[in-house]
Structure formats: C-alpha cells, structure tokens
Amino acid sequence: MGDAPPTLEAGRVGRPHGLDGSFYVTRPRTQLLALGSKVTVGQRTAAIVRRAGTDERPIVALEGVEDRDAAGRLRGLELMVPRDAAPALGEGEWWAHELEGCEVADGARLIGTVRRMIELPSCEALEVECAGGAGSLLVPMVKDAVRRVDTAARRVEVDIDFLADAMPPAPARGHEGRGGGRGD
C-alpha cells in the first residue's frame, strides 16, 4: 500500500443551501473550488457540479450529493484536493503548507518558526513561534515586513525594525541589572 498523495484543504462543508444538495463552503480557498474539480470529503471523492455565491461565501454542489439532508450530513468535513491538481500560484505567492515550519530571521538573528498562515481582514499573516519560548508574533505578508521567502531553504527573511512594535517583550533574565531596594 502506497502513501496517499499530498492534499490541500479547499475549505469545509458549511450549512446546506437550498434543496438540491448545495452547501456553503467555510474557510474557502476559492482557487481550489473550480467547477469540475475533484474534491475528497470524508472517504469519498466527487466532482464539483455547481459553483455559485461569491469568493468570500462560495456555494458548491458535489456529484452524488442530491438533497439538503445529504449535504447536511457532510457539514463540518474538510474538502481536500490533490496538491498536484492545484493551480500554479503567481510570483510572490505560496501555499500555507510551504511556509509552515520555515525559520524566520532578520539576517543572522533567528526570530522563530512559522506555525501557520492566517487570514486577517487586510492581508494574510504568518503566525511565528518566537525562538526561546518568547511567545508568538504575527508577520503580515507585505513587502515592508517580508524581505524574501526561500521555500527550498525553509527560510523567511523579515525586517525586524518594521516588526519591532509587534515583537513580544524579551523574557526576564533573573535579577541581572537590578539594584536592591526600591529605586528611590
């Protein structure tokens, strides 16, 4: 038995829409939800036979899902597509899985490791687990914050000066540098 091919999450089955088996997709990656695309839901793979709604709130229907009750039984399940079926991304675009686990640095200074990519209202951002357990940091995927991404080297170069206000405070180092008394 071989390993299953790598997949990408295209969204999750949301609430049913209408009577024909259509449903809303939550957390959609609309570029993966094209009419005719094959998606896996649970243990079954089916083609998308209807695509309506908006990019923010897509509505899809799958081959073999014939009514509202059938769509309702799928609610909450992931819609998965094979990575090799995903459309090519443009210059300066990456899939979240390509960035997860990358080290984040400013030159020789290690900042931390990408935990995940999240969508903010204004842009996507990397949630970075800071080195040394210093908390986490959100790095917006904008030119001012991200200098370079090298997925082959598993490294994201950032501008720490741009991110300085977002950095968590450095952990305390015992009593070094503290005077005794009240500071009068």
Kindly list the domain boundaries of the chain, sorted by start residue: 7-85, 96-166
CATH topology of domain 96-166: SH3 type barrels. (2.30.30)
Q: Are 7-85 and 96-166 the same fold in CATH?
A: no
**Model confidence, pTM:** 0.60
Q: Which residues pair with 49 in a beta bridge?
A: none
Distances (CA, A) of 146 to 43, 119, 173: 39, 16, 30
Alpha carbon distance 45, 38 (integer Å): 6
Q: What angle do CA 37, 60, 43 make, to 5 degrees?
A: 65
pLDDT in tens, the chain (184 residues): 445 558 888 999 999 999 999 999 998 988 899 999 999 999 999 999 999 999 889 999 999 999 999 999 999 999 999 888 777 778 888 888 889 999 999 999 999 999 998 888 888 899 999 988 888 999 999 999 999 999 999 999 999 999 877 666 655 554 444 444 434 3
- 7-85 is a CATH 2.40.30.60 domain: yes
